[in-house]
Structure 1
Amino acid sequence: MTDSSPSKQIQPPPKGFWPIMRKLGPGLIISGSIVGSGELIATTTLGAEVGFVALWLIILSCGIKVVFQEELGRYVVSTGDTALQGLNRVPGPKWRVSWVVWCWWIMTIGVIIQGSGIVGGVGQTLHLFLPQINGTAWAMVAAITVMVLLFRGRYGTVEKICVGMVVSFTFVTIACAVLLGWTPYAPTAEDFLSGLRLSLPAGGIAVAFAAFGLTGVGAAELIMYPYWVLEKGYARFVGPRIEGSAWDARARGWIRVMQADVLMAMVVYTTATVAFYILGAAILGEMGTIPAGYEMISTLSNMYTATLGSGAFYLFLIGAFFVLYSTLFANVASNSRVITDFLHLLGVARIDTDSQLLFWRRVVIAGIPMLYVILYGWVAQPVIMVVIGGVVQACMLPVIGFSTIYLRYRHIDRSIRPSLTIDILLWSCSTVMLFMAVYYVVSVRKFKNSKKSLSEPI
């Protein structure tokens, strides 16, 4: 979409720790998109409902999806395609676009419902700061500010805002988790051991499955990540495919940078996720309080006030605002890229120039936040809305997993294909995600049948 010659944009990959660190960024934008829904809401709610029992699931969820993030990043560096262009190559039924792209769109409807829960959480947080304005009105204010920031903001602006927010909330949350050890809610060694046993209570299976879909890199973020890889310039720096060792070396070098970006993000969001889960299980679980409805944020504040005292209430509100607003901001920014690409693939949006691309992105940036506010004002159940988004993402994970395997074998250049270890991880992790989806469906059916049998007269 640019007039610049591709050859002029080619750059050698950085070498050494600090030069590589300066080129990171896409993963931290995705971390900003993850934390509000997966960590602050779904993870803490799961901890409050089931205690420490699901700790193993949280750790598994953060680690298992990284290999797909890395491989989709490798694909876009190798081809210059977007993620949806890649999924559109997957064989099978097709109407304008591939069946996998339609699956993504169905998932995105659930993600929009999830985003409505996030904007509602921002509204609740600001309402507690200034009660004279109701939460829905504050949600509208948050949506408008996101629109204003993103209307003119390009990659650099998005990265700076997300990184600042990610650092802020991660520091505060880890501090609270550490200070938990000096309170009556301090977890024991037995609590942690119980969390590493592979078991789940049937009653918490919906929230557990939602947390599996949301924590770490969710299905939505797996598709969003390659767009930020492209905007950061990794594929552009490699240049068009040219036979020879120079292109191969550049591609492998920039893939190493992308891998460092993925690993850095994983460390950040895994640390924050485990900290949130421990706080939810130790404090909210012990109190017997489950975040819900208009009281979600005030209920979650107990995690901070119980460890730092009543004076920490406003500290929590500041942290919650950073967490939720960063998710709202990064979510809208990412969706503006992916949904615009979807409209282009459908033939709805004609995009031949940078100005046309910017126009359609702005259409999405204007529409999505307003839709969030309308849905939240109608439903006003942020936890349920986030859980819905998590469940549809978890169902989409096996589809993305096996689609990534297809792209790896058919469309990634042979000279930069992954190692045998990554191949084994791709197959095994895809199988685990499929098992989790099947297990969820079977468990829900059994749970519903057991409730039905209990309600029948003897």
Structure 2
Amino acid sequence: MTSGENMDQPTPGQPTPGQPTPDQPASDVSGRTGLEPAARWKLIGPGLVVAGTGVGAGDLVATLSAGAKFGYALLWAVVLGTVFKIALVEGAGRYVLASGRTIFQGWRSLGRWTGWYFGPYIVIWGLVYGATAMSSSALPLVALFPNGPDLKVWAIGMGLVGFAIVWLGRYGFVEKIVALFVGIMFLTVVGAAILATPNLPDMLPGLVPTIPDGALVNTLAVAGGVGGTITLAAYGYWLREKGWASPGWMRVMRLDNGVAYAVTGVFVVAMLIVGAELLYSANIALATGDKALVDLSDVLDERYGEVFGKVFLLGFWASSFSSLIGVWNGVSLMFADYLGTSRGLAKDDPRMLSGGSYYRAYVLWLTFPPMALLFLNEPVGIILAYGVLGAIFMPFLAITLLGLLNSDRTPREWRNGVTGNVALGACALLFLAVGANELYKAVTGVF
């Protein structure tokens, strides 16, 4: 009997629909025996949180811009980026379930250097991301209500609403909220792609890997930016919150992860279609940053009527606000684990868990100090540090997973095979290239 077929009980967690009772074997849930496939589908949740958190306005803009500039030529990069993120999240989830440790505990076992990098990164990242997420969530509301409050007021309001949801609610509530937003995103983003009537014969050549002249940076952005960064590592914490805590959950985790990135792939392909059909073919230029999505809503207004343009803005808001909520929850769990593990606390110390003092300290950090940045004009030093540390994270994740999944830190039956090593090795190379480009932009200011 392999580890995936054992009869271990899942560690008790927050009750969820379809979760086994204490006398029901985890192997029943994994799909080896017992539950029907339809019942397993009902268990899916952490993956939707990853999808809703990882696909923010920045991912949609990067893919939209690629479609607007190069048509379908970078479709292959979207598919490749989705496959790479599946490999990364599966690796993180497999390590957590197989080892019984959190991802930071795994990093810590590789040496103290991991904490020296991750500690400053998560503190600076939280400060800058907090302001960015609040602004991104506010931008579509300003466009929807042009006579309402200005951007800063909306941004602070979004931060406070997200703070209340995460502070008062537990993971199960966060999962339901994010799943609702994923549904809204799906209807609006995919709806826009359907209205654009994609040209399938034009799409097929885009599956052949080629990089058009001047498209290297866009290619890196699309392949490396699909579906999140630090939230990939947060997946293991959402597994714990869900109550999935042993190898018996491995098959469910893989199904959950596959669904998450299938949804992510649909989102980004849909945005590429919109960029190619509505903008590239008509030679329409967009603003930079998140304002590109406001410009797109204006294009949709002109083509399909004002109602759909407004509905798309609702989808833009859902993508931004779901990212805010997911980060406030998942990355706060990561910070709590980092702080508690660094201090030598037991992994079940209440300060390190959802709702604990370390968790809530980071929720506060994500919400209130970033509000000050909303009133500053380009805090250059913080942005520079954010860019430098952030550029290293994805290679850091890929390389450390290679270390964790090829050593005795992971039980032998769950270690990487050749396919896993090739996938993670390719991820590391891609993200090193993306990171080098981001470092260059951060240091030189050339974009």
TM-score under structure 2 length normalisation: 0.80
Gaps of 5+ in 1: 92-97, 239-250, 453-458
Report what 2:113 is aligned to.
Answer: 99
Report what 1:59 is aligned to.
Answer: 79
Report what 2:425 is aligned to.
Answer: 431
CA distance in 1, matches of 2:393, 2:141: 33
1:294, distance to aligned residue in structure 2 (A): 7.7
1:254-273 deviation digits (Å, cap 9, x = unpaired): 11111111111111111111
1:226, distance to aligned residue in structure 2 (A): 0.4
Report if the CA contact (8 A) 1:120-1:136 is conserved.
Answer: yes
- Are residues 442 and 362 of structure 1, via their aligned partners in 2, closer, same or farther at CA, if it must alter by over 3 Å? closer
Report if the CA contact (8 A) 1:210-1:388 is conserved.
Answer: no
3-state SS of paired residue (2:315): helix
Moved more, 398-407 or 268-277: 398-407
CA distance in 2, matches of 1:112, 1:205: 30
3-state SS of paired residue (1:53): coil
- Are residues 292 and 86 of structure 1, via their aligned partners in 2, closer, same or farther at CA, if it must alter by over 3 Å? same
TM-score under structure 1 length normalisation: 0.79
1:104, distance to aligned residue in structure 2 (A): 3.7
Is 1:322 equivalent to 2:318 in the alignment? yes
For 1:166-205, what aligned pairs fall within 5 Å after superposition?
A: 166-181=182-197, 187=199, 189-190=201-202, 192-194=204-206, 196-202=208-214, 204-205=215-216
Question: What is the root-mean-square deviation in Å for CA atoms of aligned residues?
Answer: 3.5
1:33-92 deviation digits (Å, cap 9, x = unpaired): 01114532332233334433322111100112212311221221122211111111114x
Report if the CA contact (8 A) 2:78-2:222 is conserved.
Answer: yes
Report what 2:5 is aligned to.
Answer: none
Report what 1:135 is aligned to.
Answer: 151
- Are residues 107 and 11 of structure 1, via their aligned partners in 2, closer, same or farther at CA, if it must alter by over 3 Å? farther
Question: Which residue among 125, 129, 133 is the counterpart of 2:140?
Answer: 125
Moved more, 164-173 or 141-150: 164-173
Counterpart code for 2:237:
Y
Report if the CA contact (8 A) 1:180-1:307 is conserved.
Answer: no
For 1:23-172, what aligned pairs fall within 5 Å after superposition?
A: 23-91=43-111, 98-105=112-119, 107-108=121-122, 109-110=124-125, 113-131=128-146, 132-172=148-188
- Are residues 293 and 104 of structure 1, via their aligned partners in 2, closer, same or farther at CA, if it must alter by over 3 Å? same
Counterpart code for 2:257:
V
3-state SS of paired residue (2:101): coil
1:107-129 deviation digits (Å, cap 9, x = unpaired): 54357534533321211111122
1:240-286 deviation digits (Å, cap 9, x = unpaired): xxxxxxxxxxx3x3111111111111111111111112212332344
Counterpart code for 1:214:
G
1:149-175 deviation digits (Å, cap 9, x = unpaired): 111111111111011111121122112
Report if the CA contact (8 A) 1:26-1:225 is conserved.
Answer: yes
1:146, distance to aligned residue in structure 2 (A): 0.5
Counterpart code for 1:229:
L
Counterpart code for 2:241:
E
Is 1:312 equivalent to 2:328 in the alignment? no
- Are residues 441 and 272 of structure 1, via their aligned partners in 2, closer, same or farther at CA, if it must alter by over 3 Å? closer
Moved more, 40-49 or 267-276: 40-49
CA distance in 2, matches of 1:209, 1:55: 12
Counterpart code for 1:80:
G
CA distance in 2, matches of 1:445, 1:75: 29
CA distance in 1, matches of 2:270, 2:427: 24
Counterpart code for 2:361:
V
- Are residues 380 and 417 of structure 1, via their aligned partners in 2, closer, same or farther at CA, if it must alter by over 3 Å? same
CA distance in 2, matches of 1:447, 1:378: 21
- Are residues 369 and 289 of structure 1, via their aligned partners in 2, closer, same or farther at CA, if it must alter by over 3 Å? farther
Report if the CA contact (8 A) 1:214-1:393 is conserved.
Answer: no
Paired positions, count: 410
- Are residues 376 and 359 of structure 1, via their aligned partners in 2, closer, same or farther at CA, if it must alter by over 3 Å? same
Counterpart code for 1:406:
G
Counterpart code for 2:239:
V
Moved more, 429-438 or 110-119: 110-119
CA distance in 1, matches of 2:164, 2:189: 29
CA distance in 2, matches of 1:389, 1:193: 37
CA distance in 2, matches of 1:370, 1:228: 24
CA distance in 2, matches of 1:86, 1:278: 40
1:298, distance to aligned residue in structure 2 (A): 2.0
Question: Which residue among 390, 394, 397 is the counterpart of 1:397?
Answer: 394
Report what 1:224 is aligned to.
Answer: 234
1:17, distance to aligned residue in structure 2 (A): 0.8
Counterpart code for 2:307:
G
- Are residues 106 and 47 of structure 1, via their aligned partners in 2, closer, same or farther at CA, if it must alter by over 3 Å? farther
Report if the CA contact (8 A) 1:111-1:220 is conserved.
Answer: no
Is 1:365 equivalent to 2:360 in the alignment? no
1:421-445 deviation digits (Å, cap 9, x = unpaired): x622222123323332454577799
Report if the CA contact (8 A) 1:24-1:261 is conserved.
Answer: yes
Report what 2:25 is aligned to.
Answer: 12
CA distance in 2, matches of 1:303, 1:231: 42
Identity value in percent: 23
3-state SS of paired residue (2:110): coil
Report if the CA contact (8 A) 2:127-2:365 is conserved.
Answer: no
Counterpart code for 1:88:
R
- Are residues 83 and 221 of structure 1, via their aligned partners in 2, closer, same or farther at CA, if it must alter by over 3 Å? same
Is 1:213 equivalent to 2:224 in the alignment? yes
Report if the CA contact (8 A) 1:83-1:226 is conserved.
Answer: yes
1:389, distance to aligned residue in structure 2 (A): 7.4
Report if the CA contact (8 A) 1:69-1:222 is conserved.
Answer: yes
Counterpart code for 1:48:
A
Report what 2:269 is aligned to.
Answer: 274
Question: Which residue among 243, 255, 279 is the counterpart of 1:233?
Answer: 243
Counterpart code for 2:424:
S
- Are residues 106 and 129 of structure 1, via their aligned partners in 2, closer, same or farther at CA, if it must alter by over 3 Å? same
1:305, distance to aligned residue in structure 2 (A): 3.0
Counterpart code for 1:220:
I
